[in-house]
Structure 1
């Protein structure tokens, strides 16, 4: 097998679609009987935080939901349809990436709930298993540990019935259970008593199958996932199949470069960069490459770094046309048009 993709969540399915369209030999292995196993359980209250849930090569997500905060089941249906034309084998757990003999392995096993190392945290319920029925918390004092989306989602669900709800971040120092009560030591507040404690402390990437020779794709949102996977696929195509990274030509002038960079900067996802390489009368713009590139002008959503022979020459943080034009004029050693 040329490509082995582990996991049929958004990242694994997106990589499968790219490999499928490129005509590569591949298989996606999924331990569950269906795709999108993560989103069948999370978020627990079945409402997504954004409507930006589409993948490259798929149907518009608006066909599945037109709500600003769609239901998680809408995303599950979307990913089920996305997976249908792909070579996915379900009910196929992987314990050792080397046993399949693939030349290239892509690990896309997603995330799993995370518990911090707080003494007594084992006494708390977790976001994954706490009841989603608000009446279960009627008249109770509830401590929610966490300051992310899962914590506020849980707090919003129970606030109308609970006697009180406290949402606390990293200041929880210890949890002690006394009978049916919980005593939480909170930095700067002291000891407080609760009837229930729920740990909503987010998710961490599943590292169980990590291998030095494998590629890992992950992301905190569908948007981040689809762009990260596309960058990895372009890298694999260039390195192993001689397919040039997509690019476009610009005039190698400060005004043209400034206009292109200013228009693109806000669109560049975190962890990726546009790379502008001057070549005589023209410059080549390679969009959304890994930030490990150290050649030419490396543009992220927050800055432009100029490298020459892998050495950092200059940095510009003002990503507006006039400052950028002056920056490119200085770096290219040509007069500024403005």
Structure 2
């Protein structure tokens, strides 16, 4: 009898397994939001075996719900002073990278801050026009690690997936869970009415002081009797911090009615409590164990009571899918803990893309937003191409005389280093014989110590390393910084390090820093700062962000020539004759330049046709 029972159980299990198809692919990308689609584009162009797995029936489903009141806060600047696509991406905060010029959001909306429906249409057109491979209506329930390079994604549908690499690109879909007494008396940002008339004549409190809170306040404050905002910290404004995730001017009208004393207001408290009265109103309770913030005294003196309390305290990532594997969180459980190669710090083989990687540059660059993570998704793809397929990080190799032109072009046009300032760098490797260089674009700055492993490009003894990135002034960003003071701009050419606004910074290393140098500096400053180099150059800020003027080019040439010990502009025949007489032989760069000297210069004995030395 026992063998028969075993056979029945085996057959039942086999039948269940047969009902669930298992699709084997190399790369499983979970989530068809902007990050998942962006990575899929690079995978498809490289002809990789991939699939995007999406729980909803369309791409970008998050934006069918959020922002709740419809208006995006990402800039859709349609006109710039250049037709160069790379340059225009510096001011286009919504478009993904592709080789199709029609897939730019400026073709979808003429509004500076478009409605969310526009982005949803754009993302689905992006998927369709580029033919990206997406399995819709397939929610991923869990991820299992079977071997070092074998994961199984279990879904709630009829198909599971066997993957060698998993990339989570599901964004921050969950609202932060409330952790205060009386939270049950509040309504969450996800459920709050978008009908402003529902707040007519009401007393309203919004808990939270970020963009979702201000977005909600902007929508209803004209209908309320009064509106208060409360949070743990004072408001952080993007124009002070230079962090696009802080409160933006597009939603800050409540500040007028607060500062001009028209009943609305805001206050800070580390903790808060809410109780419901018999009248149906909701009143604040004094904070427990924190009387020093002053709120307790004010509550005792005057009741803070409201008809509606809204909770808008931000979003967090969905940790449930990978939690059984031991994946941990950072930044108050907002983001997964990952390396600067975008790989899980806890589960090798699981990578992250998009907003989920923003823990690396939180409150610094734009990595939590489309105009930032479209570049980090590309960096992740380039890293995977090198690690798994032996394809080096794309690099431009040229004679050393082309270094100035190459850097000037990248400084003035590159969008990845501009948007991901202090996080992505262009890195120049100068051969030890100093006759040629290789330029690597948009490399994560904090991987400098392991550059050969990340990019596949060797860095031999004697190789000079030049790192270029954009930075704001050292003391020009902060929650309380006054960024509109009279002396905010106009630094001098000789004191570029005193410049406040975004400007190019170049670092010269005679050898790569080691891990200890990288992380000691990081811990000391808590910034995305590089270790101490051999030499540094800050180019002057420019009102038009045009760094092609003499006050930029002259110090740039001088810095690089000093660092490399040779001229980087073609020498004249006269210069080379002098050096030959002085040293007994012509320098190698003179031999290279001889082929470019004109007949007029040769006839004039090393001077130009006008008789004026080009030295």
TM-score, reference length from structure 2? 0.51
Residue 170 (structure 2) aligns with: 109
The structural deviation recorded for 1:69 is 1.1
CA contact (8 A) 2:185 2:276 kept: no
Deviates more, 1:271-280 or 1:4-13: 271-280
CA contact (8 A) 1:316 1:324 kept: no
Q: Identify, as 1 or 2, the structure richer in helix.
A: 2
For residues 285 and 428 of structure 2, the distance between their equivalents in structure 1, rounded to whole angstroms, comes to 53
After superposition, the CA RMSD in angstroms is: 2.7
For residues 324 and 47 of structure 1, the distance between their equivalents in structure 2, rounded to whole angstroms, comes to 42
1:267 to 412, 418, 426: 418
The structural deviation recorded for 1:333 is 4.3
Q: Is 1:53 matched up with 2:165?
A: no
Distance 1:317 1:73, change over 3 A: farther
Structure 2 regions of 5+ residues with no counterpart? 1-24, 77-92, 144-150, 153-160, 233-267, 288-292, 328-346, 356-367, 452-464, 472-504, 515-530, 541-551, 570-614
The structural deviation recorded for 1:259 is 3.3
Q: Identify, as 1 or 2, the structure richer in strand.
A: 1
For residues 121 and 326 of structure 1, the distance between their equivalents in structure 2, rounded to whole angstroms, comes to 62
2:284 to 155, 169, 183: 183
Higher relative contact order structure (alpha carbons within 8 Å, sequence separation ≥ 6): 1
Distance 1:327 1:95, change over 3 A: farther
Secondary structure of 2:272's counterpart equals: strand
For residues 268 and 144 of structure 1, the distance between their equivalents in structure 2, rounded to whole angstroms, comes to 31
2:113 to 54, 69, 77: 69
For residues 193 and 324 of structure 1, the distance between their equivalents in structure 2, rounded to whole angstroms, comes to 61
1:293 to 429, 437, 448: 448
For residues 37 and 215 of structure 2, the distance between their equivalents in structure 1, rounded to whole angstroms, comes to 27
Deviates more, 1:150-159 or 1:254-263: 254-263
Deviates more, 1:309-318 or 1:150-159: 309-318
For residues 537 and 405 of structure 2, the distance between their equivalents in structure 1, rounded to whole angstroms, comes to 18
Encode CA deviations 1:90-132: one digit per residue, 9 max, x unaligned: 1212123321321111110111222453444443222111111
Q: Is 1:247 matched up with 2:395?
A: yes
Secondary structure of 2:96's counterpart equals: coil
CA contact (8 A) 1:250 1:257 kept: no
Residue 61 (structure 2) aligns with: 37
The structural deviation recorded for 1:205 is 2.8
Aligned residues: 338
Residue 129 (structure 1) aligns with: 191
Distance 1:287 1:129, change over 3 A: same
Secondary structure of 1:19's counterpart equals: helix
Larger radius of gyration: 2
Q: Is 1:217 matched up with 2:386?
A: no
The structural deviation recorded for 1:317 is 6.6
CA contact (8 A) 1:108 1:216 kept: yes
Deviates more, 1:237-246 or 1:296-305: 296-305
Secondary structure of 1:102's counterpart equals: strand
1:20 to 19, 25, 44: 44
Structure 1 regions of 5+ residues with no counterpart? none
Deviates more, 1:212-221 or 1:54-63: 54-63
Distance 1:8 1:313, change over 3 A: same
For residues 166 and 105 of structure 1, the distance between their equivalents in structure 2, rounded to whole angstroms, comes to 44
Secondary structure of 1:12's counterpart equals: helix
Distance 1:331 1:167, change over 3 A: farther
For residues 12 and 262 of structure 1, the distance between their equivalents in structure 2, rounded to whole angstroms, comes to 28
Q: Is 1:92 matched up with 2:240?
A: no
Residue 430 (structure 2) aligns with: 278
Deviates more, 1:229-238 or 1:189-198: 189-198
Q: Is 1:316 matched up with 2:519?
A: no
CA contact (8 A) 1:107 1:209 kept: no
CA contact (8 A) 2:354 2:374 kept: no
For residues 428 and 196 of structure 2, the distance between their equivalents in structure 1, rounded to whole angstroms, comes to 53
